[in-house]
Amino acid sequence: MKTGVLFDLDGTLWDSSKEVADSWKDALDKRPEIHKEITTELIQSVMGRSMYEIADLLFAEYDLNTRRELLDYCCQEENEYIRRHGGRLFEGLEETLKRLKEQGYDLFIVSNCQVGYIEAFLQYYGLAGYFEDFESFGATGREKGYNIRLVAERNHLQQAVYVGDTQGDYLAATEAGLSFIHARTGYGSVEAEVKFITQLQELPEMLKTYFADGYGTIAVQEHVKGE
């Protein structure tokens, strides 16, 4: 039975909020007509939201076209910055990924980020070999629940779990028909009774019994179709 572990990125595998904030500050310094202070705390407050939501929250004082243009501009600058500077991996990440692969799981990333951000994460730390596939809001223009289901279906997963750190991650996994494990390593809480880890190294041991106990069977839905 093909079994997958799908991960959120920000707040689950790493914390790049300082680097993202620094990249956006540098980007906006080149745009003197834009008056917006970007802080690490501000970036952390919107981590996990879709790109358009982030633009609407951070640039609410500007019209829609300006918000979208600023979002695209800052995200391009962000990708280049992350490729050069990386972010802070959570403790034990690569060891955890290695153990999960040894246990026979296929690994994936689904994030609400722009195209190029997951690639920058994988490139900077040389982690691409651990993951079979990934998907993002930037690539599909669709919300996380759709993208989780898309990855599960195109990789023919029969059992799977989504690991994330926010209520939005939990709701997206539920929408996709997957079970959920809360990573209490990141930015948010979950208003539901769910299994959880407090550090990544706990995940391989938890999964030894997780699927055997009946968790992780993908709920039957209509197949994801393109637009």
The residues spanned by each domain of the chain are 3-14+89-210, 17-85
Residue 49 pLDDT grade (very low, low, confident, very high; cuts 50, 70, 90): confident
Q: List pLDDT tens digits, range 157-186.
A: 999 999 999 999 999 999 999 999 999 988
Output helix, strand, coil percentages for the chain, rounded to the nearest 5: 50, 15, 35
- Phi and psi dihedrals of 14, rounded to 5? -155, 170
Decide: pTM greater than 0.75. Answer: yes
In which residue are the tokens 């829609």 written? 64
**Mean of the per-residue pLDDT values for the chain?**
93
pLDDT number for residue 222: 46
pLDDT in tens, 55-111: 999 999 999 999 999 999 999 999 999 999 999 999 999 999 999 999 999 999 999
Q: In the numeric block, which tokens belong to residue 116? A: 């190029």
| 88 sits in which H/E element | strand 88-89
Contact between 12 and 166 (Cβ < 8 Å): no
Identity of the residue numbered 219? A
- Which pLDDT belongs to residue 50? 83
- Alpha-carbon distance of 161 to 148, in angstroms, equals 10
Domain range 3-14+89-210, CATH class: alpha beta
What pLDDT, on a 0 to 100 scale, did the predictor assign at position 87? 96
**Token duo for residue 74:** 């800052």
Q: What is the pLDDT of residue 226?
A: 45
How many CB atoms are located within 10 Å of the residue 170 CB? 21
Taking residues 35-62, report their average pLDDT.
91
Q: Please check the confidence at residue 227 and state whether its pLDDT lies above 60.
A: no
Q: 17-85 maps to which CATH number?
A: 1.10.150
- Is 25 a residue whose pLDDT tops 80? yes
* Residue pLDDT, tens place only, 125-163: 999 999 999 999 999 999 999 999 999 999 999 999 999
